[in-house]
Structure 1
Amino acid sequence: MVGTVRDEGAPLLGRESELRLLTSLLDEVATCGRALVFRGEPGIGKSRLLSEAARGARERGMAVLTAAGVQSEAKLPFAGLHQLLRPIRERAVELPLIQREALDAAFGLAPDVAPEPYRIAMAVLDLVSEVATDGPLLLVVDDAQWLDRPSADVLAFVARRIESDPILLLAAARDGYPEGLTEAGLAEHRLAALDDVAAAALVDAAVPDLSLTRRTSVLREAAGNPLALLELPAARGEPAQPGAVPVTERLERAFAGRVSDLPEITRLVLLVSALSDDDAMSESLQAASAVAGTPVDLEALEPAVDAALIELDVNAIRFRHPLIRSAVRQSAGVQLRRRVHEALAATLEDDPDRRVWHRAALVSGTHEEVARELEQAGVRARRRGAVDIALTALRRAVELSEPSHRAPRMLATAELAYDGGRPDIAAAMLREIERLDQREPLDVARARFISELLDARALADRSRVADLIAIAEQAGEAGDLELHHNLLWIAAARTWWASPGPDIRRLIVDAANRAGAPTAANARLVSIHAYADPHANASKIVDCLREAADSRAIGAVPAGYLASAGMVIGAFHHSLMFCTAAIDSAREEGRLGALPRLLATQAILAVRLPDWDIAIPAAEEARRLATELGQPVWLATAETAVAMIGALRGDPDATERATARADALALPLGATHLVALAQMGLTLSALGQSRYPEALGFVERMFDPRDPAHHLHFACMAIGDLAEAAVHAENAQAARERLAEVEVLVGGAPAEWLAITLRHARALLADDDREASVRFEEALSADLGGWPLWRGRLLLAHGRWLRRHRRVMDSRAPLREARGLFDAIGAAGWGDQARRELRASGESSRRRAPEARDDLTAQELQIAQLASEGLSNREIGQRLFLSHRTISTHLYRVFPKLGITSRAELGPALASGATR
């Protein structure tokens, strides 16, 4: 037989550059982990290159783990991952219990455990990293386009985190198929067709006695595709005209012709195996026997083995190329395929998750019983952490549902898709719901809730607020209090984000009041009142935050609501505490998707204080995870935090770059609150650099309703910045008018930040010397122990005022204290200003000595902090969703930067003021 599918003995011609690439990757893996995806059309040689890589790895003594995607297995949760890890499953005993349980749940061995998908991914990362401690490891994934999505997502997670491990991940994927490894942004190498010389050499080596006419025809039809060059010489039928039939289709026809030459019973067993989601030989023979009505044994497969279409491996039937499987399916009639699905369903009576798909294949209309079974299979898949498999089951259940059950199942699918990070599926379900004739009012309200969560562009859409309030109250009247509060929260948050004006604000305030007074026991309601009217409700919100802070048991979701409430009113210390609690819970539960939002918020809050130990690592981790997970709103938020960090630490270039990135993300989304937040970074940078007219212009943008940066709440929070800029820009009168506006908006009982910034502005904008003296005394007598930047700025302003009023000796004490505060927090620009003022008063002042930790990157600082708290590398890795080898690599770089040699020295070396 002329056909040599995946024949390892065929010469590998025309792939010299790829072979050099593989050699380089294998040689370097001991020092640098890598991941690479080979892409190309079917038969182009991707699998052969993977085989060469595996052979080369084994020759070097490397461990090799392999898996191959199979189209019929795409609905089986973690089928690909199970295949890949099977040889090392016993090493899972070396993992922490929570990770072992996650892996067991993924593989269906722990039905009572319901892990988050990223907990499973982290367990796999640690497992392969542990195996790699014995020596370099090669992971090979063929036909990645057909991996089940949960397996693909886990491998994408791993691939992004092996740079510090001696692990090489090589995958092959067919063109035209989106899949998890490609969407992960991994490096790709596209395989082109063989050139004419290599193609001719391959045909001559494989089929040396081919006639000249047939050789010419094969070379033309194959178009440089290696598999076609090997298979088409044996194909029956007339040669195709150049370009008339795609190479893939020609190959399928060639394989179909070879299948048609087989005995009928052999074709039947092949069809059973092609339609099965498992390669188990005994299962295929049992189902084939049921269809044939007579016992079928192994002998029936011998003709297919002789024809080089399959290979037998212990109890497995393996097609030698996916196109053969496809050809077998395509060449069978509809009725025969139905009979095979029916037989497989009967064979799998004890395996409901596989059985239901064969039952579903038999149904063309509605079938409520099968729809329920699919729904239950989806629930089981979700508990195993296989969200995409669950979604596939639920979507098929929707198709088979009776009309009365369709809307609830669509909603369940949309909700799971949103929670699982599949907004495209959620949006598709919502569009389908809109077309339904049978919809209950609560179904409409639930669909609207999900729709609002999905639409990032709705952040600044003022027109939706009134409609949302009405739908929220309808849900409440229908008895769904949770949905009522969910929709009301979105309406209130949007009111804060979009500044829709007094009429809409009054609507949301009234609706919030009808929903009930804020209490510590209802965190969501606290957040609703904070967003609805942050100034009027400030004191009540602070009371709730204090009461909640005394509670020992508060979950991640309530903590998130309380953090948002504290943030919008300016109670940043309380907000930071709840935000940190929510982050800790998210890490503990493996909810990676929630971290970009929480970390970006934490970074913004910590910058306000400022606390660099929190702000710098949080901003960097938020950026990394938001980029990885595709969350543009939270990436933009993190960039605004980076901008403010640069501003306060005296790096205006970093501020401008981060602001540009934030604007590029926020403006297309209409996220004006983020554009305003970016202006705050630019303002602080300009103030620190004494560029006062620029600073004034940045703040004024937030007050201007025509400007994309307009945001009244942030403008109020920046009134102290405006006052400082205006005084130095000799525009104090206009600033006094702005101050009066803000005082009306804020009322008489603002939260901590607003109270501080108002006192600062009043002191700077006092009408006369007597008032200024009183205002400075009032501002400085307030408790600013938790606000070193504000106290430093106030002392600097007071020292300047004293010196300019010829009280030079009196000015030195506040200026010295200001300098010390600025140095302690690394506020370089303001520190330089304090030194200039001291020199002008006749007192010399040394520059701040650089601290040892200033040389650390954000991630190095975060890891060093955790290590100084006594956490092991593995524990740090689990918190940051990184491998323990990556943690070790970072610490290896940290020690010389800090001038230390042991973990015990980390604490003192990281302390504020410590120098090398």
Structure 2
Amino acid sequence: MSTHELIGRDAELDVLRRLIANVKAEGAAVLVRGQPGVGKSSILRVAAEIARENEALVLSASGVESEAMLPFAGLGQLLRPLMTAAATLPAAQRRALMAALGERGGPPPELFLTALAALTLIVDAAASEPLVVVVDDLQWLDGPTNDVLAFISRRLSDDPVIMICGVRDGHPVAMASAGSLEIDLHGLDTASSQQLLARVADGLTIADQRALLDQARGNPLALVELPAVWRSAGVDILSSASATVPLTTRLQQAFASRITDLPSITRDVLLIAAVNAEENLAEVLAGASLLCGHGVLMESVEPAAAARLVEFDQVTLRFRHPLVRSAVLHVEPLPRRQAAHAAMSGVLVAEEYRRVWHRAQSVEAPDDAVADLLDASHLECIGRGSVLSAIAALERSAELTSTSGTRARRLLLAAQHAFGLGRADLVTRLVEAAELNDLSELDRVRAEWLRELFSEGTLGDSARVRELCTLATRSAAMGESDLAFDLVASAALRCWWAVGDAGDREHVAGVASTLSTRDDARRTYAVAVADPLGHVRTTLARLEATTVFGLSDVHQMRQLGMAARAIGAEAQAADYFGGVESKLRERGQLGLLSHLLAVQAAVYLDLGSWRRAGESLAEGRQLSQETGQSTWRTGTAIVGAVFESLTGNIDVALGLADEIEAACAGQAAGDFLSLVQLSRGIAHLSSGRHADAYRALVPMFDPAQRCYHPREQLSAVMFLVEAAVGCGEEDEARDLVECLERLVVTTPSPILDVHLLYARPLLADNAHAEQLFLDGLRQDLTRWPWPRARIELAYGTWLRRNRRLVESRVPLRSAVATFDAIGAVEWGRQAREGLRAAGERTQAVAVETSAARLTAQEMQIARLAADGLSNREIGEQLYLSPRTIGSHLYRIFPKLGITSRAQLADRIAE
């Protein structure tokens, strides 16, 4: 049989052949799924041979169950041929990759920065020759490597790279949600099964053939292995009783029957190989020597190779199939497996993490010395960017710990790491396990905080808000200021989401203020989020005392930005968020970036930077999906609903609003529900349904309604007043605005100030309206182009209705220019109608600028290119390959009608 011939797999191989043949034009990622023995490894082997024949570089890696807790072990395997080029990586990427692979110390690398480094190495190598990545047993690769491969697989379409990965059915892997092409391998059909059986087991009787075909059920490995066992060992695999045993188990039994017949020294070699993470033959022989107490030579492997259990050469030893490894571990009793782990611990003196892990598997009863080693080793996992491995080390350490209090502390520390991953399931399990032990007072407080982080209770529960504040005060008294701020921040977030009682909001703000006497960003954040309208002056003073350019701590910048947004200081929020965004991109903290982009988009919408909002939303949607941030998928979606309603996509906006409202059913989610109503109100306004818009918006200002939110209502004032004037509800709107006028005296929220500049003249009598319009336009609204254009439109309309046609044209022209620039279609239409009514010729609709033809991502890339960034620099910002950036620019230039980067800035500015 030629190396390319796999019986019954022509269709699957044809797919891979076409992809590999076309690799120079288009990259792709393929996931090959199937049951054990169905032929995934064979498909991958042939794909690698086809790739080499097509003069492609092949990178390969294979998962091993015993190494699943070794951080980035699979990535190290895969990138080994490319590591000489690591010196050419950008400094931040190089540091991250080297730390992840354990080649250097330093702060823990961010997963996505490591992933970008791996992508860069791969696409740079592919620039000189096409590249095919082949990964077998993806389900057994360590978690971080799985995540890196998923990251890369999403970004290959423009590069000459094909990634082909094999995974067992029933095993979730990150790549499955990355949009990869999937090939599902099923059993061979009857004709192909007969052909394969005839090739490997000629001379069978018709009856035996039928029995084997029936039991193999088209599984190629079964068709190859079961006849061999039947002939060599006389195992009754054809009995009716064996048909009830799962096929995977029967295959393991088939391999086990060969294992038990091997010499004891060969079984020692196989056992060491089975518990070991590497295929290094010298390492395996050294381990076997320690296990049996004397030197073991390569010749000891030959009986296992003759029994078709392993393959080996001078350097490597590998099992012919993962089920062989499973069979070895199943055949050998626990004491033998523990002895093998102890032997490997003795061999790996130069690799501390692996040594400790094997040592931990070699003991069963509590062993504090080993537990301490595991506790210490979790820091190496963190240092290499593998939090799941750190959690596993701490859990195993807790299992081996004899003292209750220390066991609880280790489990709570593991829970804190699980929180950092957003894993509510792990946090809950670990906290519950910790609470079965003796907790110190401080650990009890930590457990309460961890439970709070993923609370599914009533967010507006006043007693819980007060309890969190009490716990914060106790933590501060114990000298745990960080924990105290974490607890008060949790209480503040409860107030933000559920609004709650005014007394609770003030209480949280008061406790936060007592935790620090200095201008601490954490205090500013907690006070503003807990009580957005209660401490505006104090928060503004703290924001004005701190410049974004004087800060380097990204967490402080983010907290101050959130505080600014909470009180409606949108211009300052935009400045802080801009600084945070650049730092998060630089560090590869894409989970936090997905959150930031959603909030940043809301700020851009309030100010009038709608194209930037569209860019943030498009990227935020992608990143929240990629990083598993479910809350911020919803957050991005609801801000997206407001964006769609503003830009005239009414059906999309209303559909999103309905989806999010349904998702929030039964939850205290005042913030999201408030934005649902805002998107509906704007959508109705954009459709000319002023009464519907008014009915949608009024509940936002009623504290008794679920959609009330003290901060989000401020973004609705202009729309409410416009709707009220359009449907004859001015009197009711005046009453509401009078309440807001009293509020702004004590609560000078910038966004409320700006919206009232619009509301006052629209609700005033004719004698006072003009002066109010002029007062509004005299304000410095440079950072607020959207509200300014709204005032100009209203003023121009007022002038026209008062028969001052020539005067009306000036504010209306200015309004049209701004509305066209930001994409406010409905309000641009109104301004144009006003200009035509004032006697000025103008087009009925805005002339579509060439920039408006770009997608949000294309606009983002064009803007960065116009700023002078190279393709590689843009790729580093957006976590894409330089070739992908080049492909986007190739499509952007014709849309803009330009031929060079030098023309970008002028065309985007149109």
Which of 104, 110, 113 is equivalent to 2:104?
A: 110
Question: Residue 801 of structure 1 aligns to which amino acid in structure 2?
Answer: W
Which of 142, 148, 151 is equivalent to 2:142?
A: 148
Superposed, which structure 2 residues align to 1:583-662 within 5 Å? 583-662=581-660
1:269 matched residue in structure 2: 269
Q: Distance in 2 between matches of 1:146 and 1:666?
A: 37
SS of 1:435's equivalent?
A: coil
423-432 or 871-880: bigger deviation: 423-432
Structure 1 residue 601: deviation in Å? 1.2
1:325 matched residue in structure 2: 325
Question: Residue 873 of structure 2 aligns to which amino acid in structure 1?
Answer: E
Answering whether residue 786 of structure 2 is matched by residue 785 of structure 1, we say no
544-553 or 192-201: bigger deviation: 544-553
2:810 matched residue in structure 1: 813
CA, structure 1 residues 211+452, in 2 after alignment: closer, same or farther (shift >3 Å)? same
CA, structure 1 residues 463+182, in 2 after alignment: closer, same or farther (shift >3 Å)? farther
Which of 197, 203, 219 is equivalent to 1:209?
A: 203
CA, structure 1 residues 460+31, in 2 after alignment: closer, same or farther (shift >3 Å)? farther
Instruction: Give deviations 1:201-221, integer Å, cap 9, x for gaps.
Output: 211121111233322221121
Q: Distance in 2 between matches of 1:181 and 1:819?
A: 47
Structure 1 residue 565: deviation in Å? 0.7
Q: Distance in 2 between matches of 1:699 and 1:462?
A: 27
2:309 matched residue in structure 1: 309
Q: Distance in 2 between matches of 1:334 and 1:785?
A: 73
Q: Distance in 1 between matches of 2:774 and 2:901?
A: 46
2:908 matched residue in structure 1: 910
SS of 1:845's equivalent?
A: coil
Q: Distance in 2 between matches of 1:642 and 1:694?
A: 21
Instruction: Give deviations 1:171-214, integer Å, cap 9, x for gaps.
Output: 11112223333354533222111122221121112111123332
Answering whether residue 888 of structure 2 is matched by residue 896 of structure 1, we say no
Structure 1 residue 665: deviation in Å? 4.8
Superposed, which structure 2 residues align to 1:70-149 within 5 Å? 70-112=64-106, 114-149=108-143
C-alpha contact (below 8 Å) 2:481/2:515 kept by paired residues: no
323-332 or 469-478: bigger deviation: 469-478
Which of 219, 224, 246 is equivalent to 2:218?
A: 224
Q: TM-score, normalised by structure 2?
A: 0.95
1:503 matched residue in structure 2: 503
Instruction: Give deviations 1:329-363, integer Å, cap 9, x for gaps.
Output: 21112332232222222222332211112221222
Question: Residue 481 of structure 2 aligns to which amino acid in structure 1?
Answer: L
Question: Residue 45 of structure 2 aligns to which amino acid in structure 1?
Answer: S
Q: Distance in 1 between matches of 2:45 and 2:548?
A: 61
Q: Distance in 1 between matches of 2:846 and 2:5?
A: 68
CA, structure 1 residues 429+12, in 2 after alignment: closer, same or farther (shift >3 Å)? same
C-alpha contact (below 8 Å) 2:337/2:362 kept by paired residues: no
Instruction: Give deviations 1:7-26, integer Å, cap 9, x for gaps.
Output: 98696222222122222222
1:876 matched residue in structure 2: 874
C-alpha contact (below 8 Å) 2:548/2:576 kept by paired residues: no
Question: Residue 907 of structure 1 aligns to which amino acid in structure 2?
Answer: A
Q: Distance in 2 between matches of 1:759 and 1:76?
A: 60
Structure 1 residue 759: deviation in Å? 3.0
2:252 matched residue in structure 1: 252
CA, structure 1 residues 186+278, in 2 after alignment: closer, same or farther (shift >3 Å)? same
Question: Residue 781 of structure 1 aligns to which amino acid in structure 2?
Answer: R
Which of 23, 31, 38 is equivalent to 1:44?
A: 38
2:383 matched residue in structure 1: 383
Answering whether residue 18 of structure 2 is matched by residue 24 of structure 1, we say yes
Q: Distance in 2 between matches of 1:535 and 1:418?
A: 30
Q: TM-score, normalised by structure 1?
A: 0.94
Answering whether residue 348 of structure 2 is matched by residue 348 of structure 1, we say yes
Structure 1 residue 110: deviation in Å? 0.9
Answering whether residue 55 of structure 2 is matched by residue 55 of structure 1, we say no
Question: Residue 411 of structure 1 aligns to which amino acid in structure 2?
Answer: L
Q: Distance in 1 between matches of 2:75 and 2:601?
A: 36
CA, structure 1 residues 671+186, in 2 after alignment: closer, same or farther (shift >3 Å)? farther
Structure 1 residue 405: deviation in Å? 0.8
1:357 matched residue in structure 2: 357
Q: Distance in 1 between matches of 2:32 and 2:807?
A: 72
SS of 1:604's equivalent?
A: helix
C-alpha contact (below 8 Å) 1:29/1:167 kept by paired residues: yes
112-121 or 797-806: bigger deviation: 797-806
1:418 matched residue in structure 2: 419
Query: Tell me, which stretches of 5 or more residues in structure 1 are unaligned?
Result: 1-6
Structure 1 residue 579: deviation in Å? 0.9
Q: Distance in 1 between matches of 2:462 and 2:43?
A: 56
Which of 565, 573, 576 is equivalent to 1:578?
A: 576
Question: Residue 101 of structure 1 aligns to which amino acid in structure 2?
Answer: R
Instruction: Give deviations 1:661-693, integer Å, cap 9, x for gaps.
Output: 544555576433122123323333333443311
Superposed, which structure 2 residues align to 1:617-766 within 5 Å? 617-663=615-661, 665-667=663-665, 670-704=668-702, 707-766=705-764
C-alpha contact (below 8 Å) 1:286/1:296 kept by paired residues: yes
2:772 matched residue in structure 1: 775
Question: Residue 787 of structure 1 aligns to which amino acid in structure 2?
Answer: W
Q: Distance in 1 between matches of 2:201 and 2:271?
A: 30
C-alpha contact (below 8 Å) 2:650/2:683 kept by paired residues: yes
Q: Distance in 2 between matches of 1:756 and 1:825?
A: 18
C-alpha contact (below 8 Å) 2:405/2:440 kept by paired residues: no
Indicate the percent of aligned positions where both proteins have the same amino acid.
Answer: 39
CA, structure 1 residues 298+814, in 2 after alignment: closer, same or farther (shift >3 Å)? closer
Answering whether residue 463 of structure 2 is matched by residue 469 of structure 1, we say no
1:4 matched residue in structure 2: none
Q: Distance in 2 between matches of 1:719 and 1:652?
A: 20
Question: Residue 429 of structure 1 aligns to which amino acid in structure 2?
Answer: L
Structure 1 residue 559: deviation in Å? 0.5
Instruction: Give deviations 1:346-400, integer Å, cap 9, x for gaps.
Output: 2223322111122212222322211111122211121111222222212211222
Q: Distance in 1 between matches of 2:836 and 2:336?
A: 94
C-alpha contact (below 8 Å) 1:808/1:841 kept by paired residues: yes
Structure 1 residue 864: deviation in Å? 1.0
C-alpha contact (below 8 Å) 2:25/2:160 kept by paired residues: yes
Q: Distance in 2 between matches of 1:633 and 1:550?
A: 27
Structure 1 residue 458: deviation in Å? 6.4
Q: Distance in 1 between matches of 2:55 and 2:549?
A: 57
679-688 or 374-383: bigger deviation: 679-688
Structure 1 residue 430: deviation in Å? 1.9
Instruction: Give deviations 1:233-275, integer Å, cap 9, x for gaps.
Output: 1223222426410111111111011112211211121112212
Structure 1 residue 535: deviation in Å? 2.4
1:514 matched residue in structure 2: 514
Answering whether residue 821 of structure 2 is matched by residue 824 of structure 1, we say yes
Structure 1 residue 513: deviation in Å? 4.0
Q: Distance in 2 between matches of 1:825 and 1:382?
A: 44
C-alpha contact (below 8 Å) 1:460/1:671 kept by paired residues: no
Structure 1 residue 647: deviation in Å? 3.2
Structure 1 residue 705: deviation in Å? 5.0
C-alpha contact (below 8 Å) 1:637/1:662 kept by paired residues: no
Answering whether residue 183 of structure 2 is matched by residue 189 of structure 1, we say yes
Q: Distance in 2 between matches of 1:34 and 1:669?
A: 41
Which of 25, 29, 43 is equivalent to 1:35?
A: 29
892-901 or 503-512: bigger deviation: 503-512
Q: Distance in 1 between matches of 2:266 and 2:516?
A: 72
Q: Distance in 2 between matches of 1:243 and 1:740?
A: 82
C-alpha contact (below 8 Å) 1:116/1:591 kept by paired residues: yes
Structure 1 residue 854: deviation in Å? 0.3
| Aligned alpha-carbon RMSD (Å) | 2.3
Q: Distance in 1 between matches of 2:716 and 2:875?
A: 38
Question: Residue 112 of structure 2 aligns to which amino acid in structure 1?
Answer: Y
CA, structure 1 residues 663+892, in 2 after alignment: closer, same or farther (shift >3 Å)? farther
Instruction: Give deviations 1:607-647, integer Å, cap 9, x for gaps.
Output: 11111352221111111101112212222222233333333
SS of 1:630's equivalent?
A: coil
